[in-house]
């Protein structure tokens, strides 16, 4: 039985299950991981939409982090 990639995700559930799963599949499971990507790069991942990126961006800001420029 293979592990569900979502189980590794430390990202807020508010971003949505499909987005968090796809981000985990692409190696983004922590907020620090997200700082290596631009918002545009994340939007290019199937299943990751503007709402998820906005929510994750707000969480990054709250933690003193940001997407790559």
Q: Which two tokens stand for residue 41?
A: 């790069």
Decide if 10 contacts 35 (C-beta within 8 A). no
Residue 36 domain-assigned (yes or no)? yes
Range of the structural domain that residue 55 is part of: 26-69
The pLDDT confidence band at residue 1, using thresholds 50, 70 and 90, is: low
Residue 2 domain-assigned (yes or no)? no
CA triplet 7, 57, 60: central angle to 5 degrees?
Answer: 75
Residue 8 domain-assigned (yes or no)? no
Residue 32 domain-assigned (yes or no)? yes
- Which residues touch 31 (CB under 8 Å, ≥6 apart)? 10, 11, 56, 59, 60, 63, 65
The burial of 12, by beta-carbon neighbours within 10 Å (0-12 exposed, 13-18 middle, 19 or more buried), is given as middle
Residue 43 domain-assigned (yes or no)? yes
Residue 51 domain-assigned (yes or no)? yes
What is the number of domains present in the chain? 1
| Interval 12-68: pLDDT, tens | 999 999 999 999 999 999 999 999 999 999 999 999 999 999 999 999 999 999 999
Residue 33 domain-assigned (yes or no)? yes
């Amino acid at each position: 039985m293979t592990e569900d990639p979502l189980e590794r995700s430390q990202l807020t559930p508010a971003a949505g299950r499909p987005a968090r799963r796809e981000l985990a599949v692409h190696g983004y499971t922590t907020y620090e991981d997200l700082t290596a990507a631009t918002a545009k790069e994340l939007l290019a991942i199937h299943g990751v939409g503007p709402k998820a990126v906005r929510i994750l961006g707000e969480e990054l800001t709250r933690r003193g982090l940001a997407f790559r420029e």
